[in-house]
Amino acid sequence: MVGAIMLLIATLALPMLQRDAGSRSAATFGLLRDDLEQARHRTIADPERPIRLLLDDDHSGWSLVTGSADQPIERHDGTPWRVRLGEGAAEQLDGMLVSRSDRPGVRELRFDSSGVIVGDVPPAFEIRDGESTRHLQVGLVTGVVRQVER
């Protein structure tokens, strides 16, 4: 009887755990997509001060930066535009990893003054949460971020 109850609990808990992994990667996707759109729009609005998305060395976050010193730009509240997965607004995303899958050694993404991505291959990102992986691709001309199957 105890074994049957434990099996029932495990059967009910497994889908909930899988949804949690999916919701964490979906939240990370949303943050990354929004910040890519922000970098693109700000670069179009002020081409003399282009904004780049710069991934952290440890793949646990990113910043929106300008200039050669890689200093994060400021948000409307004066705080640096930096996302650290597991901290602040992204506190629940601890352990998530983000990297460029199209060019693993490249940590940044740039837009030109028209909002077109600088480069000749559509950038692709990988969001990992342990065993779970979500793949994203960014349109070269449109900047639209979409999930892709691999």
Which structure tokens are listed for 87? 């901290």
pLDDT at 1: 55
Cα–Cα distance, 3 to 52 (Å, whole number): 55
Which residues have C-beta within 8 Å of that of residue 39, sequence separation ≥ 6?
51, 52, 53, 64, 109, 111
Structural domain tally of the chain? 1
Mean pLDDT, residues 1-29:
60
Supply the range of the domain harboring residue 115. Answer: 2-148
pTM confidence score: 0.82
Average model confidence (pLDDT) for the chain? 86
| CATH number of residue 124's parent domain | 3.55.40.10
- Beta-bridge partner residues of 126: 99, 135
CB 143 within 8 A of CB 117: yes
Cα–Cα distance, 101 to 133 (Å, whole number): 11
Mean pLDDT, residues 55-77:
92
Which stretch of DSSP H or E encloses residue 150?
none
pLDDT at 115: 93
pLDDT at 20: 59
Question: Which residue bears the tokens 């001309």?
Answer: 141
